Amino acid sequence: MIKFTNVDKFYSDGNKSLDNVNLGIKQGEFVFLVGHSGAGKSTLLKLLTREEKISSGRLSVLGEDITKIKASKVHNYRRNLGIVFQDFRLLNEKTVYENVELALRVVGTNAKEIRPRVMEVLKRVGIAEKHSKYPHELSGGESQRVGIARAIVNKPSIIIADECTGNLDIHNSIQILKLLNEINEEGITVIMATHDIEILKLFPKRVIELKEGKIIKDTKREKYEINV
């Protein structure tokens, strides 16, 4: 359902960030993307979210050639995605409830459905009792739970997470990974870029390693041999 075929990505300064990437990810897989800083992890994720466009090759997601989507229609495509950020990106002047609610409002959800869906998803991530708090009143782990609630409230097919545990301690990172794992077990594809070696050890998943824009390893081994 995600297929990169001979994908290159050059930025406007001529920097080649992805070099002939060939990669298939099936619906329901959980994939870690690893590699040194500058290896191309964020670039690969940005191609999937259509924040950036490929320079050559082909990229299809959910059966659609996403390079052909017009800029004015990209928001429709993104409804299939739940995006989780390292720095949470919550709106500071909105409560937990309102941050999640907004994701439903922007896609025109029926007003009657909104409250039950927001509360259900806040319960799902274990943060329902904090629904009226503001982001500055939350810990990092709590903030990321809200980030995940916002990402899943529209029932996406794919979760894209760029270093989503990068600002958390190991305890909170594990809690967030457990949550992503549960979400994945419901059939949602999870693609997560990480530098977090402890997480890779604890959650044996497919690991794709990038180096200088190329995939140099793609493994489903129980224990990934860490050299990042």
Ligand X SMILES: Nc1ncnc2c1ncn2[C@@H]1O[C@H](COP(=O)(O)OP(=O)(O)OP(=O)(O)O)[C@@H](O)[C@H]1O
State the residues that interact with ligand X by CB under 6 A: 11, 13, 15, 17, 35, 37-43
DSSP at 14: -
| Residue 11 vs 120, nearer CB to ligand X | 11
CA dihedral for 73, 92, 83, 10, sign (positive or negative): positive
| Least spacing, CB of residue 131 vs ligand X, in Å | 32
Residue 172 DSSP SS3: helix
Residue at token pair 């080649």: 16
| Residue 147 vs 213, nearer CB to ligand X | 213
β-bridge mates for residue 61, sequence order: 2, 64
| Least spacing, CB of residue 180 vs ligand X, in Å | 19
| Residue 34 vs 149, nearer CB to ligand X | 34
176 exposure class (CB count in 10 Å sphere: 0-12, 13-18, 19+): buried
| Least spacing, CB of residue 34 vs ligand X, in Å | 9
Cβ atoms of 64 and 77 within 8 Å: the answer is yes
- How many Cα atoms within 13 Å fall on the side-chain side of residue 79? 11
- Decide the pairing of beta strands 30-34 and 206-211: parallel
| Least spacing, CB of residue 228 vs ligand X, in Å | 9
| Residue 15 vs 56, nearer CB to ligand X | 15
| Residue 135 vs 213, nearer CB to ligand X | 213
| Least spacing, CB of residue 24 vs ligand X, in Å | 20
| Least spacing, CB of residue 40 vs ligand X, in Å | 4
Distance separating alpha carbons of residues 193 and 168, to the nearest angstrom: 15
| Residue 8 vs 98, nearer CB to ligand X | 8
Residue at token pair 């690893």: 34
